[in-house]
Structure 1
Amino acid sequence: MSRQIVLDTETTGLSADNGDRIIELGCVELLNRKLTGNDLHLYFNPDRESHEDALKVHGLTTEFLSDKPRFEVLAQDIVAYLSGAELIIHNAPFDVGFLNKEFERVGLPPLRTHVADVIDTLVMAKQIYPGKRNSLDGLCDRFGVDRSNRTFHGAKLDAQLLADVYINLTRGQDALLIEVTSDEPAQGVVLDEVDLRSFTLPVLRASEDELAAHDKVLAELDKSSGGKTIFRAQA
């Protein structure tokens, strides 16, 4: 059974190396690409003020966070929850860097030693939609994911949005990843053997208009990808 955790954080600023801290952790669990409700949502007292620009993004005031537990109190619980899962994160180096720094402070190994893998949906989106808006907001708009409640960035809300975006980004892959686990057909399914050598497949040539339209699309891909169109390289 494939266990995935869609993860997001909010922080006091942009630099973990300069002392900024995680103030919110939001995790949404997927089993076989289905939401389970076994989610994790935590706030932390960072023992420091948020930078002004960060506060405008997440809206989590020092007063609100003052009575929340410190990260070290819940670090082992977080590791236990994430253990063995495949993490899905948008702009993963940012969140992974902050989690590694928090783990380092309490003497724990880096994040990747606790999990199966980390998937960066920003990298994935840039490969699928080169030159397009691939922020979380941009992807929500592209896939019609409702983000009307996103007045501020929030780790739990953003993880929920990203879970929906990820399912849309990877839709259709399941059909390409069917595992054959038995020589016996599934119960109730009758499989007829077909010798494909008996078929003569027709070759349909592209028209001049279709070739011109194809070249136009390749030119646009060349422009947005800086001349890295794979089709042209393989042609």
Structure 2
Amino acid sequence: MREIIFDTETTGLDPKTGDRMVEIGCLEMIDRVETGNTYHAYYNPERDMPSAAEAVHGLSISFLETKPKFAETADELLEFLGDASLVAHNAGFDFGFLNSELEKIGKEPISMDRMIDTVAIARKRHPGAKLSLDALCTRYGIDRSHRVKHGALLDAELLAQVYVELNGGRQIGLELAADAAPSGASSDTAGFVTPALSKRPDKPRREPRVHAASPQELARHKEFIAGIKDAIWAH
């Protein structure tokens, strides 16, 4: 199963009022495992960059005006996306901008049937909790210390980890483990494998550590106990 995790950065909140997509970052996953294949591009929005938007992603118009227009590299993006499902956080926002850019150059919009929204998944898993990407990274212990400002590819990389956790995390493969379980192993209805007992590989024997209290420690403990007034064990 091929899926593309993606994120966009824009000049604002609404493509219908003239806002444009200025960055896209895409990351390929197959069977919920990152393949290492990515696609990343900046775009000249052919308009100004509001200060509020620049404060979020740090992309100035002086930087972007040297980048290609969306129409110039759209085919490269579409080839990378292929017919995969597209995963985004608050996906309606990202789909809205991507399809707006496609429509501007006369290309077919991407079907909403391909959309997977991680906010919707998180809302079902964690009702009432904060659902921002930062909040979910915190919940799942995902390091985002290098995320100073929003960046499309960086956010896609973080979202890929969140997406895996929202779908069971490291337990994703356990449902497949029964097929590869060793002889004598069994699995329950949830797909968890109970391995048969087997002899561990030979390893150097480590002498057990001594955990008993020393005579000095026992004497100090006895002195401490004796100093407790009206101890319940004395009645």
Over 3 Å counting, the alpha-carbon distance change for 1:88 and 1:192 in structure 2 is closer
Aligned to 1:157: 154
Equivalent in 137, 140, 143 of residue 140 of structure 2: 143
**Cα-to-partner distance string for 1:121-154 (whole Å, 9 max, x where unaligned):** 0010011111111100000000011111111100
Aligned pair 1:120/2:117, yes or no?
yes
Equivalent in 156, 165, 170 of residue 167 of structure 2: 170
Structure 1 stretches of 4+ with a deviation exceeding 2 A read: 172-176, 188-193
CA distance in structure 2 between the aligned counterparts of 1:79 and 1:126, rounded to whole angstroms: 30
TM-score, normalization: structure 1? Answer: 0.73
What stretches of structure 2 of length at least 5 have no aligned partner? 187-235
What stretches of structure 1 of length at least 5 have no aligned partner? 194-235
Shift of 1:192: 9.2
Q: Percent identity?
A: 45
Equivalent AA in structure 2 for residue 71 of structure 1: F
Aligned to 2:65: 66
Q: How does 1:194-213 map to 2 (within 5 A)?
A: none
Shift of 1:190: 4.6
CA distance in structure 2 between the aligned counterparts of 1:62 and 1:83, rounded to whole angstroms: 30
Aligned to 1:85: 84
Equivalent AA in structure 1 for residue 125 of structure 2: I
Q: Secondary structure at the match of 2:76?
A: helix
RMSD between aligned alpha carbons?
Answer: 2.2
Shift of 1:25: 0.3
Equivalent in 130, 136, 151 of residue 127 of structure 2: 130
CA distance in structure 1 between the aligned counterparts of 2:173 and 2:160, rounded to whole angstroms: 16
CA distance in structure 1 between the aligned counterparts of 2:185 and 2:124, rounded to whole angstroms: 39
Q: Secondary structure at the match of 1:35?
A: strand
Q: Secondary structure at the match of 1:63?
A: helix
TM-score, normalization: structure 2? Answer: 0.73
Q: Secondary structure at the match of 1:37?
A: strand
Q: How does 1:1-150 map to 2 (within 5 A)?
A: 2-112=1-111, 117-150=114-147
Equivalent AA in structure 2 for residue 85 of structure 1: A
Q: Which has the larger radius of gyration?
A: 2
Shift of 1:50: 1.7
Q: Secondary structure at the match of 1:160?
A: helix
Q: How many residues align?
A: 184
